[in-house]
Chain A
Amino acid sequence: MHIPDGFLDAKTWITTTAAGAGAVAYSLRQAKLALEPKRVPLIALVGAFVFAAQMINFPIAGATSGHFLGGTMVSILFGPWIGALVMTAVLLVQAVVYQDGGITALGANVLCTGFIGCFVGYGSYMLGMKLFRGKGRAIVAWMSAWLSIVAASAGVAVLLAASGTFNLATALTAMVGWHMLIGIGEGMITMLVTGYLMERNAVMTGGGFKNERLSRNRA
């Protein structure tokens, strides 16, 4: 779901470029606080995986394809601020080197597939883990990734409607409809990869909020 140049009108792409730049600048500061040096090569590797996986369009219904985005996956692994930065870097390389996603639409893509994807995915993952007390982690990961794609597609629909391409109700129905299907693939990959790369903490903490925050930064 990479918005190309030409789909967004000037007021929309200028606004989203400014907002996207602000969000990335803020994430850089937040990520710096959460980042551990030993995570550096792992983040680089996961970013490369996201790029590779995004190349693989899988067929869905009606001569249409979808592909993985990855915001929820990276955010579950490293937190949403680092997740948003990884997604921004992927979108930047795709737009600059591969002409995939517009330059004028980069801010919009960063906001939708980057920030909406990461924060909706991470937020619903954390909520699900709390509600089910850590049980059913795989299903929670699947659902939160699915939800993040649907939310990101709704974001794109709003921007398209704001640009006057078509009205909001039609845009939302069309975009959300297709991405409810594409989200199934997103959920599968997120569930499998996070399941493979995560393990239970050997020492269970007492469950205080402070402890949770500390260990979340570590995780």
Chain B
Amino acid sequence: MNAYRVTEHRKRWIILALITIAIACLLSPWASSHPDGLERVAEDHGFLHQETAVNELAAIPDYEVAGIPWAAVSIGLAGAIGIMIMAAVLFGLTRSLTRSGGDRNEQRTDGLEGIDRI
């Protein structure tokens, strides 16, 4: 909407980052373990047993890092790893989207220079 835009106050983004870290590392072990809406529906209507997992190679299944006896640490670590992966993936993806136009031009210039030299 033309009346609003995302804030440019650096402080607000830093606080969002701190909240994100706190949620992922400290709050995550205390999340409710009740089935979520879809799991509830699947249970009530008798198709929860159909659930399988194709991806047996998942590094951190069910948000618990294996080999750590304390659930709070195991889940908090899973959260910490997750936010780092997310930030890295999205930083890489969006940066490549902003740059891909420029890169192509640079490559084309390089190519032309090569031809000139020949």
Contacts and interface: CB of A to CB of B under 8 A. Distances in A.
A169 interface: no
Interface in B59-102: 59-63, 75, 78-79, 81-91, 93-95, 97-98, 100-101
Q: Chain B interface residue count: which class?
A: 35 or more
A55 B62 contact: no
Contact of A97 (B40, B60, B95): B60
A45 B115 CA distance: 43
B68 to A, nearest CB: 15
A65 interface: yes
B16 to A, nearest CB: 6
B108 to A, nearest CB: 18
B20 A48 contact: yes
Contacts of B53: 4-5, 99, 102
Given A47-B90, A52-B79, A218 B54 contact: no
B51 A7 contact: yes
A214 to B, nearest CB: 9
Given A32-B100, A175-B41, A93 B82 contact: yes
Contacts of A175: 37-38, 41
Interface residues of A, number: 90
Interface string A42-76: 11111111111101111100111111000000000
A93 B98 contact: no
Interface centre among A56, A82, A98, A201 (most CB of B within 10 A): A98
A171 B91 CA distance: 38
Interface string A155-175: 010000000011000110011
B107 interface: no
B5 A201 contact: yes
The interface residues of chain A, by DSSP majority, are classed as helix
A48 B40 contact: no
Nearest to A211: B2
A75 to B, nearest CB: 12
A207 to B, nearest CB: 7
Contacts of B6: 39, 42, 77-78, 197-199, 219
Interface of B: 1-7, 9, 12-13, 16-17, 19-21, 23-24, 27-28, 31-38, 40-42, 44-45, 47, 50-55, 58-63, 75, 78-79, 81-91, 93-95, 97-98, 100-101
Interface of A: 1-7, 28, 31-32, 35-37, 39-53, 55-59, 62-67, 77-78, 82, 85-86, 89-90, 92-93, 95-100, 102-104, 125-126, 129, 134, 137, 153, 156, 165-166, 170-171, 174-175, 178-179, 181-182, 193, 196-201, 204-205, 207, 211-212, 215-216, 218-219
5 contacts: A1-B38, A45-B20, A52-B23, A196-B7, A216-B1
Given A99-B53, A205-B2, 4 more contacts: A49-B20, A49-B23, A100-B62, A178-B40
Nearest 4 A/B pairs, CB to CB: A219-B5, A99-B58, A178-B37, A52-B24
